[in-house]
Structure 1
Amino acid sequence: MPMQKFGLIFILCAISISSIGQTFKKRPKKERFPSFFGIVASPVIPNNFIGAVHTQIKDSSQTMTADFHNKWGFTFGATVRIGLTKRISIETGISQVRRIYQVGISIPDSNIYTSKKLSFINYDIPINGLFYVQMTEKWFMDASLGVSITHYPSDVQDSMQPEAKKNIIVQGRRTSSTYFAFNAGIGVEYRTEKAGTFFLGFGAKVPFKQPLFGVAILRQSGTGKQLFGYNPISAGYFTIDFRYFIPTPKKKKDPGNKPIIE
C-alpha cells in the first residue's frame, strides 16, 4: 500500500509536468528547454561524518550491549528532470531505499554473543534544484541542492533464542512515518542525442531529525525478568549515483509549411 500511494503521487506529478509542457507549446516564440525521464541506482554508504556506522545500546544495568552496525545498502528508482533554463533544472522522482543493519548482542555474564540482520525499507521523493556548467560540447558538470520527503512504511523487528529460556528481540522503531531530509550532490554527465544521457556523481542525504530508534530486549521465561535498552540512530549517508536518461525524440518538422509541387 505505501508504494502504491507514492506511485500515485509520482503519477500526479508527471501529469502536472505534462500540463506545464502543453502550456509551453502554446508559446512558440519562447525557447523551450527539454525535460528528461530516467532511472537512478545508488549504493548507500554509511559513514561517521553525517551519520553513524555503529550505534551502541545498553540496558540500565549495563548487562546487555547491542551494536547496530550500519552496512552498505542500495537505492533504485525513477527520476524526472524538468528544464527551466540552459543552466538550471528541477529534478524529482521516487526511489526505494534499503538500509541494512547487523545487530550484535553481547551478554558477557551469560556468555551470550549473537547477531541478527535488520533491513529497513523507505521511499524517497527528492525535490532538487540542478545547476549545470558546460565543459565541452557533450560533457557537463552538475551540482544539486534540495530536500526529500521520506516515508518509512513500518517498524522492523526480529528475534533470536540463544538459550532455551532466553529470547532476544531487536527492533528498529520509527520516530515518525514521514520526515524530511537535506540533499546535496555533484557529478558529471555525458549527453548524446541517440544514446541518451549518462550521469555519475556523489550525493549526501542528512535527515532533519533522527528517524529511527534501535531497541534491544532480553526476556527470560519463567522469571519475568527483562532487560531493555534503546538509542536513536543517526541515519545520514553518502551515495554514489548512477543515472541514465532516455533520449528525447526530435520533433518532426510540420509538412504543412512545405510548398506543394504539382
Structure 2
Amino acid sequence: MRSRFPYMPMLKNALLLALFVFSAIAKVFAQQEPRLGIAIKPIIPSGLFNNEADVIRRGNTQFAINPQVGYSAGVALRQDLPYLLSLETGIYYIRRIYELNITEGENTTSNKFRFVNYEIPVTGLIYIRLGKNTYLNNAFGLSFDFFPNSVYTENEYYQQKAERTYWVLPALTADVGGEYRTEKNGNFYIGASYHRMLINMAKTLILYEKGAVKESVTTPLSGNYFALNFRYYFPTNRTAPIDFN
C-alpha cells in the first residue's frame, strides 16, 4: 500500500541534517549544552499580515475563503552562542483552517477545510537583557515548509481542491517576545510570530453547480500567518546566554 506521506523520509532527512548542524555547533561551544523546548502557537487571522478573506465574484455568485483560527505545535532546539546570540531550529506541525462560503442570490453554502504541513525553521536570535532573569528576544530566519498532500472537499453543490504548489517551499519567519529564565524550572517565553511564504503554498479550485447556475474559480492560498507564541524550555546547567565580554 502506498504511503499517505510519500515525502516523510525527506522530512526526516531534513530534520537529521538540522540536528547534525546543531551537534557540530554544540561541540564548538561546549560551555553551553543545547536547550530543548516545546511550543504552541495559536494562528490568528489578520488583514494586517496579508492573511485575510479572499472574495471573488462570478456573475451572481460570490466565493469567499476566510482564514480561521488554527494552530502550530512542536519542539524547538536552541544553541546559545557568544555575545547574547543563539541559533534555533525544530520541527512544527501546522494546521491552517479555512471556511469556504459560496453565495448565490439568497442561498449560501458553507464548509470548512484544513491545510496541514510541517515546518523546519532555522533562525538566529539576539537578546536584549532587561533584568536579572528577563530578556527581550528577537529572531529572524528561514523555514522549510513540507506539504504532504493536497486537500479535497465537496458536497451536493460544489467541489473544492486546495492543490499544493510543491511538496517543500521556503518561507521567512520572524519572532519577537519576552523570556523569563529560571535556574531550576526552565525558561518561559511569550511573544508573537510572523510566517511569510516566499511562494504561495497552494491554489484553490472551486466548481459550483446548482440548477442552471454553473461557476468555477481558481484563487491562490498564500499560507502567510500571524500567531501568538508560547514556549517552555527545559532547564539546563545555565540560565543565561554565553557572553564573552
Q: TM-score, normalised by structure 2?
A: 0.86
Which amino acid is 2:189 matched to?
A: F
Shift of 1:229: 0.8
Are 2:97 and 1:92 equivalent residues in the alignment? no
Q: Which residue of 167, 171, 191 corresponds with 2:181?
A: 191
Are 2:61 and 1:64 equivalent residues in the alignment? yes
Separation in structure 2 between the aligned mates of residue 47 and residue 192 of structure 1, nearest angstrom:
34
What's the Cα RMSD here? 2.2
Distance change >3 Å, CA 24–CA 187, structure 1 → 2: closer
Aligned counterpart, 2:242: none
Distance change >3 Å, CA 51–CA 184, structure 1 → 2: same
* Contact preservation (8 Å) 2:26, 2:32: no
Q: Which residue of 14, 37, 42 corresponds with 1:9?
A: 14
List per-residue Cα deviations over 1:145-187 (Å, max 9, x = no partner).
11111111111111111xxxxx311221222222111111111
Aligned counterpart, 1:207: 197
Q: Which runs of 5+ in 2 are unaligned?
A: 239-245
Aligned counterpart, 1:239: 227
Which amino acid is 2:23 matched to?
A: S
Separation in structure 2 between the aligned mates of residue 65 and residue 233 of structure 1, nearest angstrom:
17
Q: Which residue of 99, 112, 115 corresponds with 1:120?
A: 115
Distance change >3 Å, CA 24–CA 138, structure 1 → 2: closer
Q: Which runs of 5+ in 1 are unaligned?
A: 26-31, 162-166, 251-262
Please identify, of 140-149 and 234-243, the stretch whose mean Cα deviation from structure 2 is larger. Answer: 234-243
Are 2:228 and 1:229 equivalent residues in the alignment? no
Q: Which residue of 15, 26, 37 corresponds with 1:21?
A: 26
Separation in structure 2 between the aligned mates of residue 213 and residue 56 of structure 1, nearest angstrom:
14
Q: Secondary structure at the match of 2:190?
A: strand
* Contact preservation (8 Å) 1:57, 1:216: no
Distance change >3 Å, CA 160–CA 232, structure 1 → 2: same
Q: Secondary structure at the match of 1:136?
A: coil
Q: Which residue of 66, 70, 73 corresponds with 1:73?
A: 70
User: How many residues are treated as equivalent by the alignment?
Assistant: 233
Distance change >3 Å, CA 203–CA 103, structure 1 → 2: same
Shift of 1:143: 0.5
Shift of 1:125: 1.0
Separation in structure 1 between the aligned mates of residue 29 and residue 125 of structure 2, nearest angstrom:
20
Aligned runs of 1:139-150 on 2, under 5 Å?
139-150=134-145
Aligned counterpart, 1:130: 125
* Contact preservation (8 Å) 2:64, 2:102: yes
Separation in structure 2 between the aligned mates of residue 86 and residue 65 of structure 1, nearest angstrom:
55
From the CA coordinates, give the structure whose radius of gyration is larger: 1
Shift of 1:76: 0.1
Shift of 1:132: 0.5
Q: Secondary structure at the match of 1:176?
A: coil
Aligned counterpart, 2:52: 53
* Contact preservation (8 Å) 1:213, 1:231: yes
Shift of 1:45: 1.1
List per-residue Cα deviations over 1:103-144 (Å, max 9, x = no partner).
011122xx5311011000011111111001111111111101
Q: TM-score, normalised by structure 1?
A: 0.81
Q: Secondary structure at the match of 2:23?
A: helix
Aligned counterpart, 1:154: 149
List per-residue Cα deviations over 1:22-72 (Å, max 9, x = no partner).
4555xxxxxx2342111110001111122232112344xx24321101011
Q: Secondary structure at the match of 1:49?
A: helix
| Identity in percent | 27
